[in-house]
Amino acid sequence: MNSRYAVIISLVLLISVFLCHGCSTSAATVNVSAAGSLTDAVGEINALYQKENPGIIVTGNFAASGTLQQQIENGAPVDVFISASPKQMDALQSKKLIVDNTRKDLLCNKVVLIVPGDSTLGIKSFNDLIGDAVKKIAIGDPDSVPAGQYARDIFNEYGIMEALKPKLVLAGNVRQVLQYVESSNVDAGVVFTTDAKISKNVKVVADAPDDINKKVVYPVAVINTGKDMTAASAYEEFLFSDQAGFIFDKYGFTVVGR
C-alpha cells in the first residue's frame, strides 16, 4: 500500500512540475494606444484577439490622439498606435518613433453636428450655431483632439469661427463632447459619426462638408520602442482581417480598401 502511495505522489509531483513549467512562460503583451472614438470597437477587437490567441495579452489605452502622441514621445510603453488623424502619426514619424513600413491607413470616419435628443432649438446646420438661442457648443480641444481640429476647420470654412469662440466648451476627448451633449449641458457638439451612433440620447443634425470628411483617416503603426515587434505586427495585421472589419463596420467605421 505504501509503495502505491509513493508512486501516486511521484506522479503528482511530476505533473506539478510540468504544469508549473508551462505557467512560467510569460504571455506576450501588446499595448495598444488608440483614439478615444475607437474605445468600443477596438475594445471588442482586443477581446476577440485574446480569445483566438491565448498566449497574447492585449491592453488598451484610449484617449485623445494628441495625448497619446505625447505619451509615446515621453516613453510610454506602447506597441501599436491608432490615431484619429494623420497629424499625430506624422509627428511620431518625423521623430522616428514608428516602424515606417508598418504605417497604414486603417479606417475612415465622418464628422457630424449633434444636439440633445430633446432639443427644441431647431438647429439643423452648422450655420445655425451662431443664433442667439445657442449658448454652448462642445468640441474637442483642437490642440490635441482630432475631432476638435476638424470642428475648427468646419467653422473656419463656414466663416463662423470668430462668432462661435465665446460659446465653445473645450473637451479633453471626443467622448467627453458626447457626454456633454447627452446630458444637455451644451446645446450642440461636434463628434465623429461613430460616437453619435452609440448614443440614444443625441441626434445628428448635419454632416461636415465633404472636403473635411475626406480628411478623416485613422492611420495605424507599430511603435519602434515596443518590446515585441513580432506580436505587435501580428496584432496590426489582425486589424485588417475580415473579423476585425466586421466589428469596425458594426460601429460605423469604414475599413480602408474594403
Count CA atoms closer than 13 A to 228's CA, side-chain side.
16
With a cut of 50, say whether residue 7 has pLDDT above it: no
Q: What percent of the chain has pLDDT over 70?
A: 90
Which residue has 469662440 as its cell numbers?
165
Residue 23 confidence (pLDDT):
41
3: in domain: no
56-65 burial code (b ≥16 CB/10 A, e <16): bbbebebbbb
- Do 205 and 229 sit in the same domain of this protein? no
- Do 181 and 207 sit in the same domain of this protein? yes
Nearest to 30 by CA among 233, 246, 237, 243: 233
- Do 97 and 14 sit in the same domain of this protein? yes
- For residues 151 and 171, the answer to whether their CB atoms sit within 8 Å is no
- Owning domain of residue 180: 111-213
Q: How many domains does the chain have?
A: 2
- Do 118 and 99 sit in the same domain of this protein? no
- Do 101 and 222 sit in the same domain of this protein? yes
- Do 19 and 79 sit in the same domain of this protein? yes
Residue 258 confidence (pLDDT):
67
- Do 102 and 222 sit in the same domain of this protein? yes
CA distance 52 to 19: 22
- Do 97 and 123 sit in the same domain of this protein? no
83: in domain: yes
- Do 134 and 96 sit in the same domain of this protein? no
CATH of the domain at 194: 3.40.190.10
CA distance 209 to 195: 18
Mean pLDDT of the chain: 90
| Domain end marker among 213, 228, 246 | 213
- For residues 143 and 66, the answer to whether their CB atoms sit within 8 Å is yes
4: in domain: no
CA distance 150 to 148: 5
pLDDT digits (tens, 9 = 90+) for 34-79: 999 999 999 999 999 999 999 899 999 999 999 999 999 999 999 9
Residue type, 250: K
pTM above 0.85, yes or no: no
- Do 116 and 100 sit in the same domain of this protein? no
With a cut of 80, say whether residue 2 has pLDDT above it: no
DSSP of the chain: -HHHHHHHHHHHHHHHHHHHHHHTSPPEEEEEEEEGGGHHHHHHHHHHHHHH-TTEEEEEEEE-HHHHHHHHHTT---SEEE-SSHHHHHHHHHTT-B-GGG-EEEEE--EEEEEETT--S---SGGGGGSTT---EEEE-TTT-HHHHHHHHHHHHHT-HHHHGGGEEEESSHHHHHHHHHTTSSSEEEEEHHHHHT-SSEEEEEEPPHHHHTT-EEEEEEBTT-S-HHHHHHHHHHHTSHHHHHHHHHTT-EETT-
- Do 14 and 100 sit in the same domain of this protein? yes
pLDDT digits (tens, 9 = 90+) for 103-157: 999 999 999 999 999 999 999 999 999 999 999 999 999 999 999 999 999 999 9
- Do 250 and 170 sit in the same domain of this protein? no
1: in domain: no
With a cut of 70, say whether residue 17 has pLDDT above it: no
